[in-house]
Amino acid sequence: MAADLRARPGPGDADARRLGTDPADPARLRRGERPLIRWAALRARRGNATLWGFAIATVALATALVGVFRAYQAVTWDLIHERDLQVAFLSAARLREELARYGSELATVTRRPEIYGGSTAERRAGLADAAPQLSVFDGGVVLLDPLGRVQATQPARPERYGEDWSSREYFRSQIVSPRTTLSDITEDDAPARAPAVAVSVPMTDADGAFGGVLIGFFRIGESGASALYASIARLRMGQRVHTYVVDSRRDIIYDSAFNAAGAPLAGPGPEGLGDLTRAGTLRTRDTAGNDILVAFAPVPGTRWALVIEDDWTLLTAPVARYRQVMLGLLVLGIAVPLSGLAWTVLRQRGGRGAGVAVRGGTDAVSALHRVVNAAQMPMLPGWSLAIHQQAGGRRPRDFCDYRFLPDGRLALVACRLPADEASAVRTMTLVRAGLRAAARHGWGPAEAAAEVDAMVAADVGAEPAVACLWLELDPPTGRARLVNAGYNPPRLVLDDGMVDLPAGGGALGAAAGAGPAAHDLELLPGQCLVCHSLPVDELGGEGGHVLDAACAAFQHRDESAQYRLDDLVEMLRARPDHPTAEAAGYQVLLVARATAAPSGAGA
């Protein structure tokens, strides 16, 4: 009877045991088990986790866009600084060439027999006869004897005859190193007793013995009709806010506004500009509070310096539109994901899911290539450089950049970009960073190539490898060092033939194989170096033939590199297989040295 009275499970109890959801089960409560209703709450929060993940991704995207915008802005500003620095550097070199003509005028007078070998009376008469030739020196001309005493002046100033000028810098410098010398501003040495700068040359007799010094003076603070000021104005440095020429004491010799000559250089001050014996740039504010960029460079062979002030707003005006576009893209890149996030939240609250697809993109290779690629080569006295780039397909495949080193050498780099867009962008960035790091740290081309090789291998990877050519040129001597990493072998065009330089080593980023190959050479006057990425193999060997014909035509021609390059491109386009090269894209770089070496400005 007791057995019959035991509780028997009913139909609902079986379902409860199967589901395990009986909340009144004391054993479950003693074991601390939670009802499965909690899992339902967790599933309800799964949508919130998705939204949080999307929000984190949006913040990461916004951070990346801000970083890209700041990087673009930094690159643009860096290019503006480099452009103004190059303008100052080249303008200072051209100014030295202009000033050397006045030393030549004085040297011509010193070669007259009555000047270098005559008596005092003959020297005074000879200086008077040369007055038309010396009329460019509006401050007058002074002739010193070997002891540094005033012997003659033009115009004549008898009261100054016999003055001892042996302590003057422009006399003592001729004893130590006879050459054309330009002085700082002097107050009363000129015959007109007005502030002036002096150009002095040594005098020697027929036997080469030191016979004195001939000094020409330019008055400071005169109008633009001065011969000295006209020489500076001929440089045509463009629309600048201010252009100054200062001496070693930072006193202004020339002011483009003609209102500060003779006064100390105002503005950032000596601490801001730093050492004027080295070229550099500085972004600062002028005395009126305007945002300006100051570029300065020493005038070679003198103690003078050229200082150029540019309005920063005008400098950045050409890229301001692109900056606004980038800023607009930045706002859109943040607003669109946030709008999608808000729309998703609203849809989920209404019980409906929503999907947002944001698609967009730009050709990063072409955009970055337009900003950082060197489409034109720099100007060097006694040298001629030219480049031609043919884009392959939708985006460029070749990249070139250059930079002047602190000691005056020129560093050039040319590389063949990978076909992959992401790898091409990183390659341009790494190669450009390596070139600037080499200039900053004083690395040679081999060290720079090794550093970029390591960076490419770590960032881009072995597939695809990057073909690259580094060239470091010393313009005065013509000595160059080539480092070839998988690039086409350069060709050296001589007067009596052509020489293909050794083939390059392994490309940058290659997992195995020989490293970059280094080669030293010297470009003599009249010789030309041809660096190219022509797809010779794809042309079936014919590309080499047209290159042979073009290089043969370069011989015995003292034309600029641009004319020679135009001939090569025309010969290439005239061939029936040119579409193959055009589709693949190519780059040709010519470095030619003039037949007649440039004469020194100080001679």
Domain end marker among 329, 352, 384: 329
Q: How far apart are CA 5 and CA 193, in angstroms?
A: 139
pLDDT at 479: 93
**Average pLDDT for 201-212:** 85
Residue 413 has pLDDT above 60, yes or no: yes
Residue 535 zone, left/alpha/beta (φ > 0; ψ -120 to 50; rest) = beta
**Average pLDDT for 439-448:** 78
Residue 461: inside a domain: yes
113-118 contacts, C-beta under 8 A, 24 or more apart: 115/143, 115/203, 115/214, 116/203, 116/204, 116/205, 116/206, 116/211, 117/205, 117/206, 117/211
pLDDT class for 31, splitting at 50, 70, 90? very low
Domain CATH number, residue 218:
3.30.450.20
pLDDT at 437: 81
| Claim to verify: residue 133 and residue 66 sit in the same structural domain | yes
Domain CATH number, residue 484:
3.60.40.10
**CB–CB of 93/300 below 8 Å?**
yes
Residue 143 has pLDDT above 90, yes or no: yes
pLDDT at 37: 42
What range defines the domain where residue 401 resides? Answer: 364-593
| Claim to verify: residue 473 and residue 583 sit in the same structural domain | yes
Domain end marker among 268, 302, 329: 329
Q: How far apart are CA 93 and CA 107, in angstroms?
A: 21
Residue 21: inside a domain: no
pLDDT mean across residues, the chain: 76
Domain end marker among 304, 329, 354: 329
| Claim to verify: residue 247 and residue 112 sit in the same structural domain | yes
Beta carbons within 10 angstroms of residue 65's beta carbon: 17
| Claim to verify: residue 379 and residue 302 sit in the same structural domain | no
- To which residue do tokens 């980023």 refer? 509
Residue 540 has pLDDT above 60, yes or no: no
The first and second tokens of residue 42, run together, are 């967790």
Per-residue pLDDT of 156-203, as tens digits, reads 888 889 999 888 888 888 888 888 888 888 887 777 678 889 999 999
| Claim to verify: residue 290 and residue 376 sit in the same structural domain | no
**CB–CB of 243/229 below 8 Å?**
no
| Claim to verify: residue 161 and residue 242 sit in the same structural domain | yes
CB-based burial of residue 328 (10 Å sphere; 0-12 exposed, 13-18 middle, 19+ buried)?
A: exposed
Kindly report the backbone phi and psi dihedral angles of residue 182, in degrees, each rounded to the nearest multiple of 5, phi listed first: -115, 130
Per-residue pLDDT of 93-125, as tens digits, reads 998 988 888 989 898 998 888 888 788 888 899
**CB–CB of 277/285 below 8 Å?**
no
**CB–CB of 224/233 below 8 Å?**
yes
The residue ranking higher by pLDDT, 43 or 420, is 420
pLDDT at 537: 60
Residue 533 has pLDDT above 90, yes or no: no
The SS3 call for residue 576 is coil
The first and second tokens of residue 442, run together, are 């004083």
Interacting residues of 538 by C-beta distance below 8 A, sequence separation 6+: 580, 581, 584
| Claim to verify: residue 414 and residue 292 sit in the same structural domain | no
Residue 553 has pLDDT above 70, yes or no: yes
Highest mean pLDDT among 170-174, 190-194, 478-482, 584-588: 478-482
Per-residue pLDDT of 216-275, as tens digits, reads 999 887 665 678 888 887 776 655 668 889 988 888 888 887 777 778 887 654 445 777
pLDDT at 26: 43
Residue 34: inside a domain: no
What is the arrangement of strands in the sheet containing 498-500, beginning at the earlier edge strand?
Answer: 383-390, 586-593, 528-532, 491-493, 498-500
| Claim to verify: residue 324 and residue 368 sit in the same structural domain | no
| Claim to verify: residue 368 and residue 416 sit in the same structural domain | yes
| Claim to verify: residue 406 and residue 512 sit in the same structural domain | yes
Interacting residues of 204 by C-beta distance below 8 A, sequence separation 6+: 110, 116, 178, 210, 211
pLDDT class for 215, splitting at 50, 70, 90? very high
Element (H, E) at 375: none
**Average pLDDT for 129-142:** 89
Residue 472 has pLDDT above 70, yes or no: yes
**Average pLDDT for 572-578:** 73
The answer to which of 290-299, 486-495, 553-562 has the lowest mean pLDDT is 553-562
Residue 356: inside a domain: no
Per-residue pLDDT of 489-526, as tens digits, reads 898 888 788 888 887 777 777 655 566 788 899 988 88
Chain centroid, CA 104 distance in Å: 34
For residue 418, say if its preceding peptide bond is cis, omega within 30 degrees of 0.
no
| Claim to verify: residue 305 and residue 452 sit in the same structural domain | no
Residue 358: inside a domain: no
pLDDT at 454: 78
Per-residue pLDDT of 369-398, as tens digits, reads 777 888 788 888 889 899 988 877 667 778
Residue 40: inside a domain: no
pLDDT class for 536, splitting at 50, 70, 90? low
Residue 490: inside a domain: yes
| Claim to verify: residue 310 and residue 382 sit in the same structural domain | no
Beta carbons within 10 angstroms of residue 381's beta carbon: 17
Q: How many domains does the chain have?
A: 2
Residue 270: inside a domain: yes
pLDDT at 357: 31
